[in-house]
Chain A
Amino acid sequence: MEIVRSQRRNGSDGSGSAASLPLYKSAPSIEFRLEEFGQYAIDRLRVLQAISDGLSRGKKPEEMENLVSEQWRANMKHQDADKTLRKDIISHFVLRLVYCREEEMRRWFLSMETALFRYRFRLQNAEAQKSIMNELQLQYNVLGNAEYETIKDKLTEAARSVNFTSNPETVFYKVPFEDVPELVASRRVFILKGFAFVPRNQVVSLVCTIFRSNISKALALTNRKWRAMIQDQEKDRIAPMVEALGNVYLGPDYSKPKDCAEISLKDINQLASTSFPLCMRHLFGKLREDHHLKHQGRMQLGLFLKGVGLKLEDALAFWRAEFSQKVGAERFDKEYAYSIRHNYGKEGKRTDYTPYSCQKIIMSTPSTGDHHGCPYRHFSEENLRAALNKMGVGGRAMDDIMDKVRNRHYQLACTLTFEATHGTSCETGINHPNQYFVESRKFFESKNKQSQPTA
């Protein structure tokens, strides 16, 4: 019997071969189908979203490595390594198109893709890492023996200060300090006369800086090309998909309120003050105050109320009651009632619109006279503090929230607000205003049950 050795590349799951961690240098000339366009992008987006969540929860590097490994396996991996690679490349470039279009989106995409690359790189073996460095044209010199001898004590000292035992076998690279800012900042490497001496295991930092810079330039370029011609050329084919992908939200959609959690108009004020997230409280308050809201505000609040369980008839009554104080009942019926029915899927092409997720709300850009958007992002520090004060948030909680805001973790800020106003923790984190509402109702319901006398 002949034993045939399979000609597999090292690493049975494709993680060993260098070719399995592409650098996305240029758009591939692979042919693929339009359906793959959307689906591949969404799968990759799940991975990036999971990374985003993990990072903002402060997961440690080892935990992130596991997370990336799992997420990749769950969403992107295919039995056939070639197919995985293909999907990897296609999904990256599709998402590049989607996320090149706005500054905030570019920043987010860049950070997540760099993080993804970082953890995948760490999971590669030494061979693979070396060949990636070659591809990046890292001509950094391996530290020669003569020079090594003169500084080896310092190298050891530096290594010990970060709990790393170097031995004579450890390979060091000599790179200009400008290229490894993270390592310099945390004093993880020895530097001398402007050069940093980076041990092989720290090379990740080096590689990621270059990766990040390449993708950043590519994004800017893609943005220009998109605006200049692609958007137009593809307006019937890819452009609509790109738009849609930009608003993708990957959680429960809250369009059908569960458990007959309908609310009635008479409860709405009470509910607004106890269970609405800040964005909706603000819109609700402004509506009561001005008896008017501009279009985006009506959409954001209106769909939220639908998700919360407000029936169409009640919704119409609610909006009419407010708007008629400003524009009159007749004008309301003529100009505004239609769009409310439209939201509930009773007009036009009868799409039952889904309430906006946090991601979508954060990405929106209110301008003068608008009150929609995410207050944690769009309010000035002063106004945000005042608004949170009104909700009963103060002291330490306020500082924690403002800290999250400064670091642009708007959803975490909202989660902390929930925790502060309810006095309980919210493990899952807030991703959707309706989720905030549902969690809040759950909390109050269980509190009520506890305070009722037992039978």
Chain B
Amino acid sequence: MTKEKEEHREDPMQIDSNRVPTGSLLTDYLRIYYGKFFPYTDMFKWLAYGNDGKHPGCDSSYFGRREFSFTIKSDRDEIYLRFQSFFNASEMETSIKAKCPTKIDIGAVYTVDPAKRHAYAQSGFNPIERELVFDIDISDYDDVRYCCSGADTCLNCWPLMTIAIKVIDTALREDFGFSHILWVYSGRRGVHCWVCDSRARRLSKEQRSAIADYFHVYKGGENSLKKVTFSGPLHPFLARAYTDVLKNEFEKWVSTQKLFEHEERFHKILQLIPDESVVSELAEKWQGNSVRWEHLKHMLQSGSKKTQGLRRCIEEIVFSYTYPRLDIQVTKGMNHLLKAPFCVHPGTGRICIPIDPKKCEEFDPTSVPTVAQLIEELNANASIGADNYVEKTSLAASVHLFRTCFLEPLIKTCKDELENAYNTKIQQTKDSLNW
């Protein structure tokens, strides 16, 4: 790696934006990333939820009671620091720049400052607020995608994530009435969802569990063949998911994954049909036919077979392949730590940028900016004497999205809520003083 010598500046790093940085190279990149790119003020504004000290009704201890955790990797080992907390944005910035964590996680807001938890009795240290979160990983769909497996993803199988975003986002807004929802690319193979309404932050473990179960449709461990079973007509939520999203997406999936062209692939589908006679009839007829899916649908829908369990078979097949597969434990826990947006994924170098749910079909995981790319752009901007270097990089669009689609509406709501709560309190005090 040669360094270009510039005349009056410090040496900019010569980087290869196709290489994924590791070890000390990663640390160097992170130093620059945290130095110039990480949006501290925006993150603070988000997590303070209006408690920025400007309004008399603010709780100035709020931000400081949030737990963060840092993962710090050196060549030899990995250190994991929990219960980090910061009084304000500037403390957070100083700490992140000093420690250069490879990963930052966000935890819950506790009753007291997590760093001081030992000063209190065990019963005095509890999580009291936490966003409702979801974590979806494409590797959980390995049994239904044939283009990639494990941590890989491509434009053929990424639509599974798009489907998940659409189904869950709609349900969160329509069914549960939430509106401040942030979707974030996890950096490699999935997406995270942060529901930030105050109603969501105050949910108990039991209520989070209930919501997780509401979404839990794809069930069953390693040993069950059939993971989706519908015993009767579908609940409105499932019916909507099917009609608006899953049905058509499955048609596309059939074609991109060539589900009916390979025997082991369509065999899997046949295994989901609980009627031997149907299965053998189809298997026979399919020796050389390619309109199999139409044929299957026709057979199952015609109602000529009266077997119990066939009535919802098409839906079961469609849901088995496309319905969102959540990591339920992430949603149920109140103090589960989840990776912060705008982190750098150490495995890919990509930035964990927000995704606009209204345009999630357009999201391309293969073109998400990497830290190396950003630094290259920064250097290029610097060398042509542009100011506001960072604003002219690929990250600017993501920060803009974060602000306009999520942060600004959220802060407005928080300020309104603070204002109302404050006024109510003042009124109550006044009332109690009335003789």
In the complex, chain A residues 155-194 whose Cβ is within 8 Å of any chain B Cβ:
157-158, 160-163, 177-178, 181-182, 184-187, 190-194
* A187-221 interface bits toward B, Cβ cutoff 8 Å, 1 = contact, 0 = none: 10011111100000000000000000000000000
With the chains together, A182 CA to B211 CA distance in Å?
A: 10
With the chains together, A419 CA to B209 CA distance in Å?
A: 34
Q: Which residues of B contact A163 (CB under 8 A)?
A: 232
Nearest B residue (CB) for A161: B235
Q: Which residues of A contact B203 (CB under 8 A)?
A: 178
Q: Which residues of A contact B209 (CB under 8 A)?
A: 181, 185
**Residues A192 and B233 in contact, CB atoms below 8 Å apart:** no
* A312-344 interface bits toward B, Cβ cutoff 8 Å, 1 = contact, 0 = none: 000000000000000000000000000000000
**Residues A182 and B199 in contact, CB atoms below 8 Å apart:** no
By size class, the interface of chain A is 20 to 34
Nearest B residue (CB) for A160: B233
By size class, the interface of chain B is 20 to 34
In the complex, chain B residues 222-242 whose Cβ is within 8 Å of any chain A Cβ:
232-239
Q: Which residues of A contact B211 (CB under 8 A)?
A: 184-185
**Residues A187 and B233 in contact, CB atoms below 8 Å apart:** no
Is residue A107 contacting chain B, with contact meaning CB distance below 8 A? no
Most B CB within 10 A of own CB, among A181, A182, A194: A181
**Residues A195 and B210 in contact, CB atoms below 8 Å apart:** no
With the chains together, A122 CA to B236 CA distance in Å?
A: 27
Nearest B residue (CB) for A178: B207
Partner of B235, one of A177, A187, A194: A187
CB-CB under 8 A for A181 and B233, given A191-B175, A193-B177, A194-B199: no
**Residues B214 and A195 in contact, CB atoms below 8 Å apart:** no
Is residue B251 contacting chain A, with contact meaning CB distance below 8 A? no
**Residues A190 and B232 in contact, CB atoms below 8 Å apart:** no
CB distance from B328 to the nearest CB of A (A): 11
Nearest B residue (CB) for A151: B236
* B245-260 interface bits toward A, Cβ cutoff 8 Å, 1 = contact, 0 = none: 0000000000000000
With the chains together, A185 CA to B332 CA distance in Å?
A: 12
**Residues A154 and B236 in contact, CB atoms below 8 Å apart:** yes
**Residues B232 and A161 in contact, CB atoms below 8 Å apart:** yes
Q: Which residues of A contact B178 (CB under 8 A)?
A: 194
With the chains together, A234 CA to B435 CA distance in Å?
A: 44
Q: Which residues of B contact A184 (CB under 8 A)?
A: 210-211, 213-214
Partner of B236, one of A177, A182, A190, A193: A190
Contacts A/B (CB < 8 Å), 29 sampled: A154-B236, A157-B234, A157-B239, A158-B235, A160-B233, A161-B233, A161-B236, A161-B238, A177-B176, A178-B199, A178-B207, A181-B207, A181-B209, A182-B210, A184-B211, A184-B213, A185-B212, A185-B214, A187-B235, A187-B237, A191-B176, A191-B237, A192-B175, A192-B177, A193-B175, A193-B176, A193-B177, A194-B178, A195-B177
Which A residues contact B (CB, under 8 angstroms)?
154, 157-158, 160-163, 177-178, 181-182, 184-187, 190-195
10 further interface pairs, Cβ-Cβ under 8 Å (given A161-B232, A191-B237, A194-B199):
A157-B233, A178-B203, A184-B210, A185-B209, A185-B210, A185-B213, A187-B235, A191-B176, A192-B177, A193-B177
